[in-house]
Amino acid sequence: MGIFISIDMGGTQIRAATYPQGSTEPLNIRKTPTRSGDEAPFERMCALIQAIWPKGQTVESITVALPGPLDPVSGVIFSAPNIPGWENFPLRDALKARFHVPVHIGNDANLAALGEWRYGAGKGHHDLLYLTISTGIGGGVISGDRLLLGTRGLASELGHLTVLSDGPLCGCGQRGHLETISAGPGIARYVKEQIEAGRESSLQGVAHITAKEVSQAAREGDPLSVEAFTRAGTYLGVAVADFLHIFNPSIVIFGGGVSFSGDILFKPMREALQQHVMDASYLHDLQIATAALGDEAGLMGALALAELKKAEG
């Protein structure tokens, strides 16, 4: 029985796991910081793979989940803002040349969607929408049991939907994208801006305000913090209404740290969704769920892709 190697490549850490074919129980999981001294992230990734390589067993493939625009077909990373040197980097060919096994790569949010569909909260659904809300907003879409990739693998960047055409500057360089308002930094920035403009808040004088502090303050009844989450949830609901019109999923799955905020985010989200959907039939039997795979989403998503590729032959 062969072994699948899954890699979750992030800006701060690289995680690797081995899974026996047909199992979601890892044989081994290891992690290492993405950066250390002058060593290139690619070399650090290779060393981790070497360390986890199963002795005396056949490795079926290496599958890497990572952020940033990339082409899963050509295996090239277009850009990875948090990983130095990975601009137009042919990651798949570089790994193939090193390890001599099939290599697959995928956008981490896309693969998390695939993982939730195959092993997690979306099992049994044919049409699924996945949104992960943390420091940014990533997304993935399963349509008719297939992961939506687009012509160059760049589809379903759901966090970069424009909701305010002259809104705040997004990490991608454009303005007013959903993630500038509904992801963690956008929620914190709104509170900071309002305090600077003279609004009162229990967070006044707090040196480093993040979405976590805002979430706590909102729970304790701070009106400005409640307002920040209401704003984030409302825009999220407006965006999800658009996504329902485009993809008509039977389930929407939310993951990422900000999704643990609960009702302070999801109550306004649901209200906006009701208001903005063009016909109530989009909401009929629609399930709204939280992600089941948690921190394992990247590794399990990579495993899901590896299993699918193996089945395709």
Binding segment for Zn ion (CB under 5 A), chosen from 26-34, 53-61, 63-71, 153-161, is: 153-161
Interface mask toward Zn ion for 82-101; x: CB under 5 A: --------------------
Among 122, 160, 161, 186, binds Zn ion (CB under 5 A): 160
- Residue nearest Zn ion by beta-carbon distance: 170
Q: What whole-number distance in Å separates Cα of residue 181 and Cα of residue 25?
A: 37
CB of 173 to Zn ion, least distance (A): 7
Binding segment for Zn ion (CB under 5 A), chosen from 74-82, 106-114, 171-179, 254-262, is: 171-179
CB of 157 to Zn ion, least distance (A): 8
User: Among residues 185, 224, 231, which one has the least CA distance to residue 202?
Assistant: 224
Among 138, 147, 177, 264, binds Zn ion (CB under 5 A): 177
Contact between 308 and Zn ion (CB under 5 A)? Answer: no
How far, in Å, are 13, 45, 235 from residue 109 at the CA level? 16, 20, 20
Contact between 161 and Zn ion (CB under 5 A)? Answer: no
CB of 110 to Zn ion, least distance (A): 16
Among 105, 129, 158, 170, binds Zn ion (CB under 5 A): 170
Contact between 206 and Zn ion (CB under 5 A)? Answer: no
Over its C-alpha atoms, the chain yields an Rg (Å, rounded) of 20
Q: What whole-number distance in Å separates Cα of residue 164 and Cα of residue 166?
A: 6
Interior/surface letters 63-93, b for 16+ CB within 10 angstroms, e for the rest: bbbbbbbbbbeebbbbebeebeebeebebbe
Query: Using an 8 Å Cβ cutoff, are 269 and 234 in contact?
Result: yes
Q: What whole-number distance in Å separates Cα of residue 307 and Cα of residue 313?
A: 10
C-beta closer to Zn ion: residue 125 or 177? 177
Q: What whole-number distance in Å separates Cα of residue 21 and Cα of residue 142?
A: 23
Query: Using an 8 Å Cβ cutoff, are 304 and 266 in contact?
Result: no
Among 29, 94, 172, 286, binds Zn ion (CB under 5 A): 172
| Residues at the site binding Zn ion, with contacts judged by CB under 5 A | 160, 170, 172, 174, 177
